[in-house]
């Protein structure tokens, strides 16, 4: 875990970040890491109860941070923390969120993290499972990049971080659709980085390996064993390890990095 002094040296305090898929797993770990760094957060996922629970935890993190700095706790957290319980595949709802964010001064950091994985051999996968994986893993990412980049252009810069996957880079049997939907994100990242560079907006992806979250409960033990055998560090990743890379990419510590897909996978080899 990052310590408080290091969090401060990232100089992200007071910036505004949108984190999609924040209700659990990697997204929730990101929200906690960014709160420790003093970032104001807009959290998005479908499950309102989980977002509410997370917001309470984040308030405690902000309070601790303010106490350590000898500052008073705010009476109201609405400028520091807000959430939207929406389905990101609903184009109208996403448009409305970004228009609300525009009226509140825009956004500095976008983290496209929400995603789903429905493993099945291509011969047997239903068309609704093909559609739904592309809807959230690819099309929702494209839309959020589009809306956020317009606001970032207006504000003079920003950082976009898309969470793709090692499977988008290397593939895996039973994962043709998930891999394709994530490979599209890497392509988007590389092209968009070139389009937005002149506006001081950096665009990068993180390609996690196998990270211990509810998402991988859909993998069989045999599939997990098969993946573990390829990991140099011989263990699953932690959500916090992806969150820390995300902090780096959001901050000026990575000011000369754009258009990259950064593997956070414990050294996967094939
Ligand atoms: N865990 C891994 O091993 C691994 C490896 C490589 C890449 N990744 C990627 O990392 C990201 C996070 O994964 P994770 O492991 O943390 O997964 P997770 O525990 O299943 O969390 C997924 C998050 O996405 C949200 N979400 C899913 N569909 C959504 C929708 N239609 N609209 C709004 N929010 C939605 C979920 O919230 P609600 O259900 O509340 O909506 C949840 O907060 C995903 O993009 C995943 O593909 C994960």
- For residue 78, what pLDDT band results from cuts at 50, 70 and 90? confident
Partners of 231 in the β-ladder = 268
SS3 22: coil
What is the arithmetic mean of pLDDT over 246-269? 97
Distance of alpha carbon 46 from alpha carbon 36, whole angstroms: 24
Is pLDDT at 198 greater than 80 in this prediction? Answer: yes
Query: What was the pLDDT predicted at 2?
Result: 47
92 alpha carbon to ligand 1 midpoint, in Å?
A: 21
Residues 94-116, mean pLDDT to the nearest whole number: 98
- pLDDT one-digit tens code per residue, 140-151: 999 999 999 999
Could you list the beta-strand ranges (E) of the chain: 16-20, 40-45, 81-85, 109-112, 158-163, 201-208, 261-264
Separation of 21 CA from ligand 1 center, angstroms?
A: 5
Running DSSP on this structure, what letter comes out for residue 199?
G
Higher pLDDT, 63 or 65: 63
Active site residue 77: no
Instruction: Tell me the pTM.
Output: 0.96
Q: Is the pLDDT confidence value at 3 over 60?
A: no
Residue 206, phi then psi, degrees to nearest 5: -115, 130
Question: What spacing in Å lies between the alpha carbon of 20 and ligand 1's midpoint?
Answer: 9
pLDDT of 4-42, one tens digit each? 566 778 999 999 999 999 999 999 999 999 999 999 999
* The ligand 1 atom nearest the CA atom of 214: 19
Ligand 1 first shell, C-beta below 6 A: 21-27, 45-47, 50, 87-89, 113-117, 136, 163, 165, 208, 210-211, 213-216
**Phi–psi pair at 112, nearest 5 degrees:** -85, 95
Round to the nearest angstrom and report the end-to-end CA distance of the chain. Answer: 29
Arithmetic mean of pLDDT, 43-67: 94
Note the pLDDT of residue 77.
Answer: 84
Domains of the chain, start order: 12-261 (3.40.50.720)
pLDDT band at 253 (very low <50, low <70, confident <90, very high): very high
**Phi–psi pair at 62, nearest 5 degrees:** -60, -45
């Amino acid at each position: 875990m990052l310590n408080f002094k290091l969090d401060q040296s990232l100089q992200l305090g007071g910036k505004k970040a949108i984190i999609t898929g924040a209700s659990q797993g990697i997204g929730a770990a990101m929200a906690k890491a960014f709160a420790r760094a003093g970032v104001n957060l807009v959290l998005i996922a479908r499950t309102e109860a989980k977002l509410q629970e997370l917001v309470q935890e984040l308030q405690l993190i902000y309070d601790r941070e303010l106490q350590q700095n000898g500052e008073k706790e705010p009476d109201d957290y609405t400028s520091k923390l807000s959430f939207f319980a929406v389905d990101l595949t609903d184009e109208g709802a996403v448009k409305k969120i970004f228009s609300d964010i525009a009226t509140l001064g825009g956004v500095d950091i976008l983290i496209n993290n929400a995603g789903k994985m429905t493993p099945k051999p291509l011969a047997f996968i239903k068309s609704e499972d093909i559609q739904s994986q592309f809807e959230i893993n690819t099309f929702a990412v494209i839309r959020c990049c589009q809306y956020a980049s317009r606001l970032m252009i207006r504000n003079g810069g920003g950082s976009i971080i898309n969470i793709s996957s090692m499977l988008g880079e290397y593939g895996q049997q039973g994962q043709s659709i998930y891999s394709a939907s994530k490979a599209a994100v890497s392509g988007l990242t590389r092209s968009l980085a070139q389009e937005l560079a002149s506006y001081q907006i950096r665009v990068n992806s993180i390609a996690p390996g196998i990270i211990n979250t509810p998402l991988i409960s859909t993998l069989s033990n045999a599939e997990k064993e098969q993946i573990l055998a390829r990991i140099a560090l011989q263990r699953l990743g932690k959500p916090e390890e992806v969150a820390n890379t995300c902090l780096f990419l959001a901050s000026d510590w990575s000011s000369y990095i754009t258009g990259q897909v950064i593997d956070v996978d414990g050294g996967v080899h094939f």
